Structure 1
Amino acid sequence: MKNVKKRKKKHQFPTAYTVVILVLLLVQILTFFIPAGNYATIQYNSDSNNFTVTEPSGKKIKKPATQKILDKYKVKITINKFKDGTIYKPVAIPNSYKKINQKKPNLYQAVVQFLTSQVQGIGQSIDIIAFVLILGGCIGVVHANGAIDSGMAALSKKIKGKQSLLIILIMGLIGLGGTTFGLAEETMAFYPILIPVFLVAGFDRMTVVATIFLGTSIGTMASTINPFSTVIASNAAGVNFSHALPLRVMMWLVCIITGMIYVLIYANKVKKNPKASFVYNDFAKEDQKYMNEDTKDYNFTWHQKLTLLVFAIAFITMIWGVQSKGWYFTEISVVFLAAGYIMAFISGLNEHQFVKSFVDGASDLLGVALTIGLARAVSIVMEESHTSDTIMNFFSNAVSGMPPLIFIWVMFLVYIVLGFFIQSSSGLAVLSMPIMAPLANVVGIDRASIIDAYNWGQGFISLIAPTGLILMSLMMVNIGFDKWFKFCWKLIVIEFGICLAFLALGLVVY
């Protein structure tokens, strides 16, 4: 009888899908225990030029759109901010929280909600999903006509000895986009193009996701003039966002430089010794072909050059539109769809080759698209169970009356928790600021400190929150969440300390 060696099963970290489902399951279970409740809200209707006050019970009352009404409800926002569209979401009314009589779901209803929310999440994320699939199609065409291979061969000769500048330049520009106009989900378009660029430079896939994702997450965390976080939160708190701008600029510089140094140390370690990579065993063979691109002689055809040019113009148009025109995913999807049509005529591929490459490219990003929809399901369950406001009310009562330094540090922790469950920065701002900002007056600090705690707290948790952008980013480079955490946990500790230090400094400066 032969001795059979039983091979030990290697325990693998769950996939992105499973992580999101586990978070959704946790939230679903919490709905059995967290009481349902609502704050009353007030929202401006531009068509009828009046306010709609929605009571915790759901009853709606029409009120004149005047400053007197806002003062009556102790909403410290000027009427102009509603009328000019700066505040366009329902704003929570302070001290209006009430529990509501909502029957807790039985097991059958909870299971139905658990499944239904996932389908609804995909439906509500269709604009982002469309963008991802169209982008994937365009990338498939760029790969199919050889533009990527030829372009990388040409690039490898130009960046010799300057590889570190890639990280500094790309991370700096993305971080600038994050702090100024909230560049976030749009960065998914950068991954397929930058993966070969970084591999040719001698780095690894972890360096790609670190450069792009940390650039955008640190940028949006240390927001300076981001209209979707700092500006809307300041308006909802009744303060001028420019009041605290110098400290926030300093915070952004310290955080982004710290992030760059962290990534550069790792990237250069990998460049000297590829086996130092956290993902070396996963991609050693797959990525080896990029390491010697400069030894290959590619014929860079005019078809390939034009295809890359059109693709680059689409990127530039996207950034311009998001920054200056307020475009969202429908508009930028149209840009890349138009680029796809142009590529059909200039790529040099015949009709069958073009369609196949486009469909294959879209299918490569289907997993990312599904994860986006599943992550949205978490917010849907929170909304339908009316638990978000209950959590908010609990924390607002818990932190009131603390000493200033302890108060602002605890507020930072509170926003880390809230940011995990409420991923929309603007949604969290208009929900929480009218409730939390007045607490600053109670403990004797500037309301700008509350906005900093909100910004840095919800931004900090985005570094690892499965309900945010990180899982989609990791799927773009095919890296597991466990590898990401192993790479970034030291940076997380450092950034946490920086946030606490700047919150303390804000109490002195403001």
Structure 2
Amino acid sequence: MPKKGIQMPHTFVIIFGVVVLAALMTYLIPMGIFETEEVTYDNQGQEDTRTVLMPETFQYETGETGEPLRDGVSLFEPFGEAGFLNYMFEGLVSGDKWGSAVGVVAFILIIGGAFGIIMRTKAIDQGILAVIDKTKGREALLIPVMFFIFSLGGAVFGMGEEAIAFAIILIPLVIALGYDAITGVMITYVATQIGFASSWMNPFGVAIVQGVSDVPVLSGAPFRIVMWIVFTGVGIAYTIWYASKVRRDPSKSYSPEANAYFKSQSNTQDISGKFKLGDALVVTTLGLGIVWIVWGVVRDAYYIPEIATQFFTIGLVAGVIGVLFKLNNMTVNDIAEGFSEGAQQLLPAALIVGMAKGIVIILGGDDPAAASVLNTILYSAGGLVDNMPEVVSASFILLFQSIINFFVVSGSGQAALTMPLIAPLSDIAGVTRQVAVLGFQLGDGLTNMIVPTSAALMGTLGAARVGWGTWFRFIFKFQLLMMGLALAFVIIAVLIDFS
């Protein structure tokens, strides 16, 4: 168990501190602006288009005297503008239903509500007891099998936010098996991000980055497949090591409060221990719903609006089954109450999404065609790549993307912002664009496991009842291990002239 010392601040406090830092930067760093262009690339036979910045067009926004303009953010702005104190509201309402803040907030709340209904039926609890009874002596297989499946999901179709829903199901199971909530987060969300970071075919990650960087889409697959196997293997080994330690001695767990919460919620007095027809129908509905979601993502590129509706449908059908079969004595009102309680549990995670987006808004937004402090930071950092030896330049790309991911968590958004800068500069530095793409995907994907601005991470931690401060204490060493492994693969890629 971690030593007691200085208490980690609440996630809201941490993000507020970053907002303060961002506000100060607007007084110190001048604003810059890029021109943009449409880039078209072939993605598995389909023509995709993305708006990207043109690095050679960067210029400072100037004032009346011709000097670079430092437009420090004001304390408050009316009429929908962004002042320092506006960051919460403006962050929450930014974007659209396809992503950014407002879409992700709705997605998190709907998922929470849907699973609130499912959990109200107690069918999952009954299923957990059945699984425990059937897997006695083979419980340890759950960790490697689940980790592998979720890592594969991240690699093949960019699984991320979907892990929130699976965490709601699996965390009570792993706790019932003697592990802890941290283990549940590792085999769901962390596994997806390892797959995402080391993917050879993720349509929302490596495919977009390669297209924007003028690299043949889905090229370099053999190297990346080996990389995925290594990263996934290390992740499984680390998770098994930690989980086994917790099972032997529960006091070693980093999440005792969360563990106690889930144990208290699994009230055995309300569970018969008999897996009946109604329970089986709820679980079947969930299973078929997951198949439907995977089919939609892979075949038709379903994203946040469609997946949220799919989960809502699953929850609604499960609720109707619960009422018809009187599971846990459910009534129609219990469907509504279950949805409300489930959404309420993930409300803090949804708020964090808006707060995190507020950081970028304070810096002027992530539109390269609009004057902002973020544009200047991107241009200044990108210019360092061409003045270093090859190995150092490639390593800097990895570090650069890891830092930028704190501010712009969206992989496709980062690709449009940073790769038009990094790709041509990597040519000058003697680093192949394929290596630059590798540094991007590893820096982007792996830091999703730790940055509090990641909506998917905070949603999963909310489902797990684990605070970000607690998570940071646990994940920090593993994060260093992953970044060391990433650096090793980037250096190998440079040495073999990966292209």
Check if 1:33 corresponds to 2:14. no
Q: Which residue of 1 aligns with 2:353?
A: 372
- For residue 297 of structure 1, report the CA deviation from its aligned partner: 4.7
Q: Which residue of 1 aligns with 2:97?
A: none
Q: CA RMSD in A?
A: 2.6
Pick from 294, 317, 321 the counterpart of residue 319 of structure 1.
294
Q: Which residue of 2 aligns with 1:477?
A: 464
Q: Which residue of 2 aligns with 1:360?
A: 341
Q: Which residue of 1 aligns with 2:174?
A: 198
Check if 1:161 corresponds to 2:173. no
- For residue 16 of structure 1, report the CA deviation from its aligned partner: 2.3
Aligned pairs (5 A) from 1:345-424: 345-348=320-323, 349-384=330-365, 386-424=372-410
Q: Which residue of 2 aligns with 1:114?
A: 84
Summarize deviations over 1:103-123 as a string: whole Å, max 9, x none: 613543479523323213222
SS at match of 2:37: strand
Q: Which residue of 2 aligns with 1:337?
A: 312
Q: Which residue of 2 aligns with 1:14?
A: 9
**Partners of 1:196 and 1:290 within 8 A in 2:** no
Summarize deviations over 1:200-256 as a string: whole Å, max 9, x none: 221111111122121012111112111222111111111114432221111111111
Q: Which residue of 2 aligns with 1:67?
A: none
Q: Which residue of 2 aligns with 1:46?
A: none
Q: Which residue of 1 aligns with 2:55?
A: 94
Q: Which residue of 2 aligns with 1:501?
A: 488
Check if 1:463 corresponds to 2:449. yes
User: CA separation in 2, counterparts of 1:103 and 1:398?
Assistant: 23
User: CA separation in 2, counterparts of 1:417 and 1:157?
Assistant: 46
**Partners of 1:202 and 1:291 within 8 A in 2:** no
**Partners of 1:200 and 1:292 within 8 A in 2:** no
- Please list every run of 5 or more consecutive structure 2 residues that lacks an aligned counterpart in the other structure: 63-68, 95-100, 324-329, 366-370
**Partners of 2:118 and 2:124 within 8 A in 1:** yes
Aligned pairs (5 A) from 1:277-316: 277-280=253-256, 282-283=257-258, 285-288=260-263, 297-316=272-291
Check if 1:105 corresponds to 2:99. no
Summarize deviations over 1:442-493 as a string: whole Å, max 9, x none: 1223111111111111223222211114333222211122322222222222
Amino acid at match of 2:56: N
**Partners of 1:395 and 1:414 within 8 A in 2:** yes
- For residue 390 of structure 1, report the CA deviation from its aligned partner: 0.8
Amino acid at match of 1:438: P
Summarize deviations over 1:412-436 as a string: whole Å, max 9, x none: 2122222222211111112222221
- Larger mean CA deviation between 169-178 and 316-325 belongs to 316-325
- For residue 285 of structure 1, report the CA deviation from its aligned partner: 4.2
Summarize deviations over 1:127-146 as a string: whole Å, max 9, x none: 22222222222222222222
Amino acid at match of 2:357: R
Amino acid at match of 1:395: A
Amino acid at match of 1:498: L
* Structure whose CA Rg is larger: 1
- Please list every run of 5 or more consecutive structure 1 residues that lacks an aligned counterpart in the other structure: 1-8, 44-76
User: CA separation in 1, counterparts of 2:46 and 2:389?
Assistant: 37
Cα distance 1:383–1:171, how it changes in 2: closer, same or farther (>3 A)? farther
User: CA separation in 2, counterparts of 1:242 and 1:138?
Assistant: 36
**Partners of 1:28 and 1:110 within 8 A in 2:** no
Check if 1:262 corresponds to 2:238. yes
Q: TM-score, normalised by structure 2?
A: 0.86
- Larger mean CA deviation between 10-19 and 413-422 belongs to 10-19
Cα distance 1:350–1:480, how it changes in 2: closer, same or farther (>3 A)? closer
- For residue 352 of structure 1, report the CA deviation from its aligned partner: 2.1
- For residue 283 of structure 1, report the CA deviation from its aligned partner: 4.4
User: CA separation in 1, counterparts of 2:42 and 2:253?
Assistant: 53
SS at match of 1:223: coil
Cα distance 1:483–1:261, how it changes in 2: closer, same or farther (>3 A)? same
Aligned pairs (5 A) from 1:159-198: 159-198=135-174
Q: Which residue of 2 aligns with 1:488?
A: 475
User: CA separation in 2, counterparts of 1:121 and 1:106?
Assistant: 15
Cα distance 1:36–1:310, how it changes in 2: closer, same or farther (>3 A)? same
- For residue 409 of structure 1, report the CA deviation from its aligned partner: 1.2
Kindly, what percent of the aligned residue pairs are identical?
28
**Partners of 1:32 and 1:105 within 8 A in 2:** yes
Check if 1:145 corresponds to 2:106. no
User: CA separation in 2, counterparts of 1:235 and 1:106?
Assistant: 36
**Partners of 2:155 and 2:200 within 8 A in 1:** yes
User: CA separation in 1, counterparts of 2:73 and 2:359?
Assistant: 19
- Larger mean CA deviation between 238-247 and 202-211 belongs to 238-247
User: CA separation in 2, counterparts of 1:480 and 1:341?
Assistant: 29
